[in-house]
Chains A and B, each alone.
Chain A
Amino acid sequence: MRGIAKSMARTFAVFLRKPVTRDYPSYHKPIPERDRAFPLLLWDEGIDEPFCTGCHACERACPVECMTVLMKDNPNHKSLDGTSSRRKIIDKFWIDYARCMRCNICVEVCNFDAIAMNNTWEGHETSVYDRQDLVMDLQQLLSQSRTGNINEWVPVLGQTNETVSEADAEDSEVSN
């Protein structure tokens, strides 16, 4: 009897608490800055072209061989009266998101900081009806960075993420 009384008191205390439910599809929890979704390519705003030179470093390093890279001569190079100092530039780039295991090795080997792990919800919500649709081409890989729809991607080691913690404090409201 004492046990039952105790358990009933405990459940009633829980009853008075606020629900912890987050209504996911209509509410997105802010995700941490160092969250690692799938890799994407970054856009050089200054010169208006991708950072990537198509050097194959990531392709060779990829343990699951999910990448395919093709390089070309940069038509915008200085020698051709352009503005860029990149002699070579990426021509075609595919990443098979179905195959990628999000190991971050491509980011680590990249000499130009041209590839990054997506740390937004767009990187997580990639459901498709056909597996082929998960093979992303160059346009798809660049578009998120090109529109500026991506968070700062290199966190300083040991630094807390203020934007996320502020947002976490705000998000306690549960939409019902």
Chain B
Amino acid sequence: MSVELFGTSFNPWADAAIRLQLVVGFMTVVVMGLIYAERKILARFHQRVGPQKTGPRGLLQSVADAVKLVGKEDLRPAAADPWTFELAPYFVFIPIFLGFVIVPWVQDWNVRLLELGILYFVAISSISIVGWVMAGWGSDNRYAIIGALRAAAQGISYELPLVLALLSAAMIAGSLQLDKIVEFQSTVPLIVWQPLGFFIFFVAALAELNRTPFDIPVGESEIVGGPFVEYSGIRWSMFFLAEYAGMLIMAFVGSSVFLGGYSWPFGEDFGLPLQILLAAGKGGLFIFLIFWVRASVPRLRIDQLMGYSWKILLPFSFLQILINGFVLVYGLPHIVLLITGVLSLGLLFWVTEGIVQRPLEPRRRRARPTIVQEAEVS
């Protein structure tokens, strides 16, 4: 038994090892680039210049940061639970890393395209919550445990809309395998048929990645960094790497499921360079959107955050699945999906507006002196 790779056949184990090494190298380089890009782009959102001293235009800033982090002392608090504390970064990092298995970067460029790709992705990506809770629990720090519990609550509640949005897209595409979904979109991307699903996916992805405005688990202004308060050096950098790697994978899964990945708008017969350009452009667009939201929207409160997931996103993702079911069962034309999708997206915005503007507590009467009619009293 052997597997083809680069035109030569390998033992499956060796093949898997080579592919994973390639992905590790790619991921590390891209994460460093992402950190640099985030600092530069966020700086432009603040009308600043960003890093500029390290190397030409600050390009080596991430390298300098990495060297600094590796060189730092790896501390463990005396009262921390040693095993939980030391193992937590791996529990955060490995699930995200395993998620790279199913990403179809470009046509025929992947680790393994599983038949149940999306199911695998959502199953594996929710494991990292365990790592967050371990980090918070093992640190023996109150900020850390608060952050960990927030991360658990948020991660679990936003997992559902995320899964349902991905599933609604998979319903239309008729497959859970990511390259089949991409193939399906060679003429029209799924965002056209599933605008509501895309919106729900994007919001839930922001929450899953603990990005602003859903960054209450790590909110450094309230709980000083959340679960990784006590981490330093290489272990801390593993959390950081996991965060950005998660962003990368979420961007690529999102762009292959909703934006047509490498396929739309030129189809699959086009050359490799164009496909790479398309895939990278769409992933980059997705990541830019995440940065943009970070620069614009302030952090939510925990009750707003949970309420938004359970009261709005979850019912609307069920609505999307219901609509998809009707369309598929009765064989209605796809244009119905577009119309209902836009309408329900509008409904979602309208409901959100109502929820935001509704006061949290019953309205208080302003204390006013009551005019007592002298004549009636007497």
Contact = CB atoms under 8 A, between A and B. Distances in A.
A7 B45 CA distance: 12
Contacts of B297: 4, 7-8
Interface in A6-44: 7-8, 10-12, 14-15, 17-21, 23
Interface residues of A, number: 19
A164 interface: no
A105 B296 CA distance: 50
B44 A15 contact: yes
A83 B97 CA distance: 86
Nearest to B297: A4
Contacts of A3: 356
Interface stretch (B22-30, B47-55, B65-73, B255-263): B47-55
Nearest to B349: A1
Contact residues on B (Cβ < 8 Å of other chain), bracket: 10 to 19
B47 A14 contact: yes
Given A1-B352, A2-B353, A11-B296, A176 B47 contact: no
Interface in A31-82: none
Contacts of B57: 176
A19 B292 contact: no
Interface in A105-147: none
Contacts of B49: 19, 21, 23, 174, 176
Contacts of B293: 8
Nearest to B288: A15
A20 B292 CA distance: 19
A4 B296 contact: yes
Interface in B286-320: 292-293, 295-297
Interface string B21-64: 00000000000000000000101111111001000010000000
Interface in A143-162: none
Contact of A11 (B43, B45, B48): B45
Contacts of B44: 15, 19
Given A1-B349, A174-B49, A19 B296 contact: no
Nearest to B298: A7
A146 B69 CA distance: 51
A1 B308 CA distance: 12
Contacts of A19: 43-44, 47-49
A11 B352 contact: no
Contact of B292 (A1, A11, A174): A11
A126 to B, nearest CB: 24
A88 to B, nearest CB: 53
Nearest to A25: B53
A7 B353 CA distance: 15
Contacts of B52: 23, 176
B295 A21 contact: no
B353 A11 contact: no
A157 to B, nearest CB: 36
Contacts of B352: 1
A27 to B, nearest CB: 12
Nearest to B49: A21
Given A7-B297, A15-B45, A23-B52, 15 more contacts: A1-B349, A1-B353, A1-B356, A4-B296, A8-B293, A8-B296, A11-B292, A14-B45, A14-B46, A15-B44, A19-B43, A21-B48, A21-B49, A23-B49, A176-B49
Give the top 7 A-B pairs by smallest Cβ distance, nearest first.
A21-B49, A1-B349, A11-B296, A8-B296, A7-B296, A19-B49, A11-B295
Interface of B: 41, 43-49, 52, 57, 292-293, 295-297, 349, 352-353, 356
26 contacts: A1-B352, A3-B356, A7-B297, A8-B293, A8-B296, A8-B297, A10-B296, A11-B45, A11-B295, A14-B46, A15-B41, A15-B45, A15-B295, A17-B47, A18-B47, A19-B43, A19-B44, A19-B47, A19-B48, A20-B47, A20-B48, A21-B47, A21-B48, A23-B49, A176-B52, A176-B57
